[in-house]
Structure 1
């Protein structure tokens, strides 16, 4: 039960499903809810966003939306206490933008412009608050600071529920901009 009380979103692996079967992703946290899709019996890096009230179901991304899988068939990966997990994809609307972050590098993009490569600099956890992080990103002609929070987030355009909110400040010698959006785990 300890893993059920740990910080989310986090990566899990499918376990306990027969090799000739799959884990159903359902529209609601109920065994008889509509099936939206499946996860392979050996799927890894499944991003769990939140748990149901009875803590028996886990919400996961399902295409452009979200769905529910039985938690008993998921095992939390080790080493994800309160650190910012690797493999974040952040985005926002009006204007559309995207930020992909891995351990050492990031890529910021806007429509009709080439993506900008950034180096991941310092990553900080907020003092006195769990689930809040600051990330410094450095590029040749651009710098950015991402403030990321573990919280339920909606992009307002899809039916997907994200597990992180983000505020992104981007600046160069020519201009500065402030963006807000959501992030999801993806490896």
Structure 2
């Protein structure tokens, strides 16, 4: 046993690969075709039902588990609720330390949104032969700008910090993601990822901050 522990300490990647990532995308399983998976106000089967997922729903973003790991926190409209993890299965390739497949980010005052063309390609540039994906940044006061991710990185001393650089004809941006709770300040929705964006557009330099989601 002692030898096994020493080997695991020498192979941190193997240890982290066994740990669940939060937030993560899940699919509904074992729910009858004529039934639904209820979303409840609290992590309890006796709690108020505030919404539901159909039996074939995929790509549900679970922000974090309950203390007993029996329930998962999800967004339901403009608020959050809890679903039973018994009826959810995690999509593959999600473990603590894996580059998160972020779909979109947004912020308020000023309102802006950042959308990834193909989230499945995030993290591809960490290895040889990888291909970046496109990103689009929009806000009500300016035309939408597009760029392509050219570099990606994971923090050297942490596994909950990620970054990429994107370049385009009208802009370049450096984006950092933090795996931690975030609120948009406009609703009771929660997010599990924060972001800071350093943006150069038309010769002007600006800093945007907001929340990110794995789902659209």
Q: TM-score, normalised to structure 2's length?
A: 0.81
Name the counterpart of 1:75: 89
What is the RMSD of the two structures over their aligned residues, measured on CA atoms?
1.8
Which structure has the larger Rg over C-alpha atoms?
Answer: 2
Quote the Cα distance in structure 2 between the aligned partners of 1:140 and 1:20: 51
Quote the Cα distance in structure 1 between the aligned partners of 2:26 and 2:18: 11
Aligned in 2, Cα 1:117/1:125: closer, same or farther, shift over 3 Å?
same
Superimposed CA distance per residue, residues 132-170 of structure 1 (whole angstroms, 9 cap, x where no aligned partner): 101111111200111001111111111100010101110
Output aligned runs, 1:52-91, within 5 Å: 52-81=66-95, 82-91=97-106
Name the counterpart of 1:154: 183
Q: How far 1:112 sits from its partner (Å)?
A: 2.8
Question: Please, which runs of 5 or more residues in structure 2 have no aligned partner?
Answer: 1-15, 122-132
Output aligned runs, 1:84-99, within 5 Å: 84-99=99-114
Give the structure with the higher percent strand: 1
**Runs of 4+ that moved beyond 6 A:** none
Give the structure with the higher percent helix: 2
Quote the Cα distance in structure 1 between the aligned partners of 2:57 and 2:35: 12
Q: TM-score, normalised to structure 1's length?
A: 0.93
Contact 1:7 1:131 in 2 (8 A): no
Alignment: residue pair count? 186
Quote the Cα distance in structure 2 between the aligned partners of 1:153 and 1:52: 17
Where 2:156 maps in the other structure, the secondary structure is coil
